Amino acid sequence: MVGLVVDQMRWDYLYFYQKEYGEGGLKRLLNNGFSFENTLINYSPTVTAIGHTSAYTGSIPALHGICGNNFWQNDKYIYCCDDSTVQSVGSQSKQGQMSPRRMLSTTIGDELRLATDFRSKVIGVALKDRAAILPAGHSANAAYWWDSSVGHFITSSYYMKTLPTWVEKFNKENQKAPKYDIKKSNEGVTITFKMAEAVLENEGLGQGDETDMLTVSISSTDAIGHAYGTRGKENHDVYMQLDKDLAHFLDVLDQKVGRGNYLLFLTADHGAAHNYNFLKEHNLPGGAYDYKKAVKDLNNHLQKTFGIKPVMGEDNYQFYFDDA
């Protein structure tokens, strides 16, 4: 089984760029697969951590516990995958101090591992830590994500004590300069698929007696969408790259696992509205939500009304109140 999430992919991109897609990538999925187009996201907000968790647990934030990329828990501002009890593996930075422990429910991969007495392998790959960790689940054999401070893939002691030899070799062959923001480049799409293909090859996924699962998330589409908007050359080019790399990835799956021997799904964690600066350039109404001003104004109002300033902050249009 292969789960593929394309971060910030609007459903209409399947058709908006369709004339320029090749035959072996997104067109192959549309022509040979089934497209679920009458769907509903039954929660809010739609952000990376929630979208990935909901897709793989089949649940909602109220039940799986991941209610934002960042949120307040017990009056403390936290990151969805932060875990101070584990250490980085593959670097000395804190970018590997991550785990799925804040997620309350199980994933498809967890249930698969349970069903086979843990003989199935489940591995997650993404540039973003949360996009590799949360889909793979609690009992995953591994999850790998990009540490920008060192310019290669790392993991956490939650999964292992040292990087496998093949990962170290992959990192040497694909090393990037520290601090280089690969997420904002088309290269980020390619290297994610390359890592996924390396996992298939070196971990022997789909080669044993049990069903294995590989979760892959493409993060560059989100970073580029945020930086440049949902239209224009940059967005166009990253989807051309995605289509090309996806076609190669499907070919690798055909060769390694066999056509018809794997189930692959494509989804997105969320979409995106048009950038408000883009709308303004074309005389369309639009603007940005000033969350800092909203928190300040609300606290001032509550101070006048009740004599307290209880709002600790806001994230994704949700206001967090100091319980004490």
Check: CB of residue 3 under 8 Å from CB of residue 56: yes
- Maximum alpha-carbon separation in the chain: 68
Question: Is residue 215 helix, strand or coil?
Answer: strand
The pLDDT assigned to 37 comes to: 86
Residue pair 145/126 in contact by the 8 Å Cβ criterion: yes
What pLDDT does 323 receive?
87
Judge residue 171's burial from the number of C-beta atoms within 10 Å of its C-beta, 0-12 exposed, 13-18 middle, 19 or more buried.
buried
- 48 annotated active-site: yes
**pTM score, two decimals?**
0.95
Q: What is the pLDDT of residue 264?
A: 98
Interatomic CA distance for residues 309 and 324, integer angstroms? 12
Helices (H) and strands (E) in the chain, counts: 12, 11
Residue tagged active-site, from 48, 57, 107, 230: 48
Q: Measuring CA to CA, which residue among 247, 232, 242, 252 is closest to residue 186?
A: 242
- Distance of alpha carbon 321 from alpha carbon 271, whole angstroms: 28
Task: Tell whether the torsion through CA atoms of 188, 191, 195 and 201 is positive or negative.
Answer: positive
Low-confidence ranges of the chain (pLDDT < 70): none
Written as one string, the DSSP assignment of 252-314 is HHHHHT-TTS--EEEE-S---PPPHHHHHHTT-------HHHHHHHHHHHHHHHHS---EEEE
165: alpha, beta or left? (left if phi > 0; alpha if psi -120 to 50): alpha
Torsion of CA 267, 146, 59, 44, to 10 degrees: -80
